[in-house]
A and B are shown apart, each in its own frame.
Chain A
């Protein structure tokens, strides 16, 4: 089930909210657990069994690790952790990468092994990462093992973040899983955040997505059209994914959970290093905490650090999908980050901000182009067109049509990518603070939120009914 479906909005959400608040506090985890299982089984009526297995497996290993640690047997605790990690990676590897490996072996050796055609269980990359963070943290002693299997199951299945993140680490919600309360502020801010996320997904991502869809189907295109397409996809993936994260964070808050932020206006970045601190934060933190730092991070010399960066980014790429273009995409960012670390950051720091913005967005758009094309040959053709290699026109009437009919949307997308708090801070520090005072103390803000919420909900519904075009991009991962 996805948040922008009518089954979710008109049936699932009203019912789960009603039952959750009708039930006494001690039954609320159970309500969430049951509904989360329904939520998952809705899309994966069979694969829900894998998730149930994961729950039991990681719960048991968590208990074992703690047990051995208490008994002062670190070796056995480590063994239990290794079993757990291997188990999780085996599940992920089997369902996500088997056909990729077979396909790659075939293309290298010409072995002609037949593919297994395994369908990818929705959200498996997200929930295996979450459960691994749990057992590792139990091993590290950062959290206590959860004794109640229902509480643990509630954590793993929690529907707001189940199928597309953010990757909520156990330690973030440990206390809330057992004791939480929802204030008026929590519920109203959660509902507002959900409405914002829905609007981002339906009004921005889906709309610009149909432009990318049209452009990617063209047989011939000009340089300008190719760039417009790549920019359209860059906006689509940002608003799709960050809209989904907003909805997840908002829903979490309506049930008393505080998830960490997953995006922080990534397209405001001045360097690629900064971009990756602002984009899909929960994934970058996961890799930093559980791969990069354990590998030695930056503490073992420059050469080792560069090696670590490369490992992390190959894995990040591969995590996004079992395909060579994702590996390429990961390596692309790995190399860029190494270059920045070696010398470019220092140079960029001395240059005016706007050069940094253009530099970063140029590279990010190219990054998304690599990301978008799973067919390496087509990717090559598309990149060639973008850089005018071969017989391609600079611009054509297709470009003028696409630009004209999407101009207002593009302006809205740019406006929604800007973090206005930065401007406010600048106003505040400026010589003339009266403008800042006028804006900051305006009474308009108090009524702005409810008004915006009504508009977002109404218009999103109108577009949802009108659009049969409603796929979630982050489903594949």
Chain B
């Protein structure tokens, strides 16, 4: 009995000593790629900070962020939760066949924000249609994977009603063509059109939407079946993986599409990023060795990206895309149709969109957002005038 007691004391003391000692000795990590955020730094010790409790809170966050084997602990937790059939882990849903999903519940939907965003786009279209034909203004909402791949969701998973949201928003859009891609995507939901471990659609999903958009605006596009595809990486674990941190998680592949096996659409253009940086492809190979490999498309999101293509079907047309990150897989295909494209990401752009359109002689407009992003976006107000 004495042996057991000594063993227990040793276990307890050694456990605390090892975890705290190792965490203390280990060098601090500055950034966690999995969580896509900077980790807490040691707090500053001042009398004010102590009296206000700020020091105490910061120290707790610091210890939690810098504890040894941080990702290992979380992986253990996820393993146990999965073994217990819990499908709601780290703020995401663990679905079937390796598919993970964003968890956006009805309570997360802010009707007032939706109304503000709809109003902003309505006003923008009204203004834009003074200089651009209405037929050349498009509005495209990308459904999230929870709607299209619903059969892969955990049973009875709670999600906001995307279909109702999309219907409600599309109905209010005037002065534009509304491209609804739901039917097309749903008819292909057996295919690899959304990533399993990331909330984005794949290039195949984006191409289906692109085809639908071309059809609705009377433009030509090559049928998907005639395209040649090319793998960029087979080792992609995206944003949903980062939330769940599941050791057994699937890997996603990133594919690109083109007419020939050698060249993907958009790999032969000249790009100007934020009016400074020049490059010659929509694809940034360097990102494939980083954690967030979705950045392979354009390297990141920027305020403005101007793309000039010398082999487009309509060299004289100039498209403006107001967008979120879902457009990054979509726009390379549009380089086949437009001599010039500008992508504006309102999260990083603070100029006047209307003036930009006049200055650059924009002939076509596309507003493309994922529905989940659209209803929660807080930058759409920038569409109408300077802030």
Interface residues of A (CB under 8 A from B): 1, 5-7, 9-11, 13-14, 17, 42-43, 45-46, 184-185, 187-188, 191-192, 194-195, 214, 217-219, 397-398, 400-401, 404-409, 446-447, 449-450, 453-454, 457-459, 461-467
Closest residue on chain A to residue B63 by CB atoms? A6
Q: Which A residues are in CB contact (< 8 Å) with B15?
A: 454, 457
Is B277 interfacial (CB-CB < 8 Å)? no
Q: Shortest CB–CB separation between residue B55 and chain A, in angstroms?
A: 9
Contact A10 B16 (CB under 8 A): yes
Contact B154 A466 (CB under 8 A): no
A466 and B90 form a contact (CB under 8 A)? yes
B85 touches A6 (CB 8 A): no
Q: Identify B86's interface contact among A219, A409, A449, A467, CB under 8 A.
A: A409
A401 touches B76 (CB 8 A): no
A394 to B7, CA, bound (A): 53
A405 near B106: Cβ-Cβ < 8 Å: no
Closest to B90 in A: A466
B11 with A466: CB separation less than 8 A: no
Knowing that A7-B60, A397-B156 are A-B contacts, what are 5 other residue pairs whose CB atoms are under 8 Å apart, sorted by A's residue number?
A184-B6, A214-B105, A407-B85, A409-B84, A465-B70
Q: Collect the chain A residues with CB atoms within 8 Å of residue B2's CB.
A: 184
* B-side contacts of A450, CB under 8 Å: 4, 7-8, 11
Q: Which residues of A contact B387 (CB under 8 A)?
A: none
Asked if residues A404 and B155 are in contact (CB atoms below 8 Å), the reply is yes
- If A45-B51, A400-B156, A405-B88 touch, whether A191 touches B12 (CB-CB below 8 Å) is yes
Cβ-defined contact, A466 with B73, below 8 A: yes
Shortest Cβ gap from A408 to chain B (Å): 4
| A449 and B4 form a contact (CB under 8 A) | yes
8 closest cross-chain pairs (CB), A and B? A466-B77, A401-B156, A6-B63, A191-B12, A465-B73, A10-B20, A408-B84, A462-B76
In angstroms, Cα B16 to Cα A453, docked, is 12
Q: For residue A454, which residue of chain B has the nearest CB? A: B11
Would you call B158 an interface residue if the criterion is a C-beta within 8 Å of the partner chain's C-beta atoms?
yes
Least distance between B109 CB and chain A CB atoms (Å): 11
Asked if B8 contacts A459 (CB within 8 A), the reply is no
Roughly how many angstroms separate A302 CA and B209 CA in the complex, as a whole number?
A: 80
* Identity of the chain B residue whose Cβ is nearest the Cβ of A185 in the assembled complex: B5
Q: Is B219 an interface residue (CB 8 A)?
A: no
Q: Is the CB of B51 within 8 A of A191?
A: no
**Chain B residues within an 8 Å CB radius of A13:** 16
Is residue B224 within 8 Å, beta carbon to beta carbon, of the partner chain?
no
Q: Are B56 and A401 in contact (CB under 8 A)?
A: no
Q: Which residue of B lies closest to A42 (CB)?
A: B56
Minimum C-beta distance from A341 to chain B (A): 43
Residue of A43, A188, A461 near B5 (CB, 8 A) is A188
Question: 8 Å CB contacts to A: which residues of B1-38?
Answer: 1-2, 4-9, 11-13, 15-17, 19-20, 23
CB within 8 Å of A: which B38-73 residues = 50-51, 53, 56, 59-60, 63-64, 67, 70, 73
Q: Whole-angstrom distance from the CB of B56 to the nearest CB of chain A?
A: 5
Minimum distance in angstroms from A438 CB to a CB of chain B: 20
Q: Is the CB of A405 within 8 A of B85?
A: yes
A458 to B73, CA, bound (A): 9
Shortest Cβ distance from residue B90 to the other chain A in the assembled complex, whole angstroms: 7
* Bound CA span A401–B16, Å: 38
- B76 contact set on A, CB distance < 8 A: 458-459, 462
B106/A219 in contact, CB under 8 A: yes
**A398 x B56 contact (CB < 8 A):** no
B87 in contact (CB, < 8 A): yes
B77 touches A463 (CB 8 A): yes
In the complex the two chains form, is B156's CB within 8 Å of A447's CB?
no
User: CA A17 – CA B13 in complex, angstroms?
Assistant: 9
Contact A191 B20 (CB under 8 A): no
List chain A residues, Cβ under 8 A from B8. 188, 191-192, 449-450, 453
Q: Which residues in A have their C-beta under 8 angstroms from that of B11?
A: 450, 453-454, 457
- A selection of 19 A-B contacts at a CB cut-off of 8 Å is A1-B56, A14-B16, A187-B5, A188-B12, A195-B12, A405-B88, A406-B86, A409-B84, A453-B11, A457-B11, A457-B12, A458-B76, A462-B73, A462-B76, A462-B77, A463-B80, A464-B73, A465-B70, A466-B90
Smallest distance from the beta carbon of B60 to chain A beta carbons, Å? Answer: 5
B114 within 8 A of A: no
Cα–Cα distance between A351 and B90 once the two chains are bound (Å): 47
- Report the Cα distance A5→B59, complex, angstroms: 10
- A458 CB, min distance to chain B CBs, angstroms: 7
Chain B residues closer than 8 Å to A1, beta-carbon distance: 56
Q: How far is the CA of A446 from the CA of B60 in the complex (A)?
A: 36
